[in-house]
Amino acid sequence: MCQTTFGITPPPAPKAQPASLTVSAPASRGGELAVYTDSQGLMRLLAPRGWLCSAQYGADGSGGVAVYPAGEHIPSAWGAGWQLSTSSPVQAVFGSQTSACMGCAEGQACALFPSAAKDFMSHFGRPCPGIRPATETTTQLSAGVAAFTDPAGVSGDGNPSGGRYPADGVMTYYREHTPGSWTETCTLPPADKDLCTTALNYFVNSYGTR
C-alpha cells in the first residue's frame, strides 16, 4: 500500500482490501510485477515488483498513484506534469484521474480526443492547451480510450516523458459520462516494453470505461 496524502480528510479506509488479485501477464515475467494502491484503494496500478510508491488526491478528488524505483527522486507535484531532460534515466508507472473537474478532464484529454478539444473550446472559448508532438504516435482503442507513445527524448502526453526511455500510455474521455478522464503512463527501457503493455492493459481493463 502506498503512502497517501489527501487535500481533505478522507472517509475511513475500507475495512478490508483484497489480499491478492488475478492479473493476466506474460508467463515468463509475471513474477516481476506487483499491484500498488493508495490507502483507500481508489486506484490500482501494475508495475515492477519491489518499487516504491506514493499517492496524492486533492480536495476535489483528483489525483493518482506514482510507482518508481528505490533511490529515484520524483517531484512533489508530479500530478501537474513531469517532463524529463533528454538524458534522464527516470523510470516510473504513473496513473491519475481528474475526478469531477470538467475543465480538467477536457484539458487533459483534448490533445488526443477531438471531442474533448471541441468541448474545451465551447466551455472556455479558446483552443486546447495541449499540443501533441509530431512524433507522438496515437491509436484509438475504442470511442473513449486512446493509446499513445512518446519516443525517447520527446515530451508529450506521457507523464513522465522526454527522457532516455519511451513513454507508453493510455487515456480515457467520455463526454456523455460524469466528467473525468483517467490516464496512465509507463516509462521503462525498451527491453521492458512487454511489462508496460501488461500494466497498461490492466489499467484499461480496470478503468477504461470511466
Does residue 192 carry a pLDDT above 70?
yes
Q: Where are the domains of the chain?
A: 3-9+28-207
The CATH code belonging to domain 3-9+28-207 is: 3.40.1000
Distance between CA atoms of 93 and 48, rounded to whole angstroms?
A: 9
pLDDT in tens, 141-177: 999 999 999 999 999 999 999 999 999 999 999 987 7
Distance between CA atoms of 157 and 131, rounded to whole angstroms?
A: 9
pLDDT in tens, 11-50: 666 655 665 556 666 666 768 999 999 999 999 999 999 9
What DSSP assignment string belongs to 15-47?
Answer: S---S-------TTTGGGEEEEE-TT-S-EEEE
pLDDT in tens, 83-116: 999 999 999 999 999 988 888 999 999 999 999 9
| Average of per-residue pLDDT across 42-66 | 94
- Give the residue, 20 or 192, on which the prediction is more confident: 192
Does residue 137 carry a pLDDT above 60?
yes
pLDDT of residue 24: 66
Distance between CA atoms of 159 and 84, rounded to whole angstroms?
A: 9
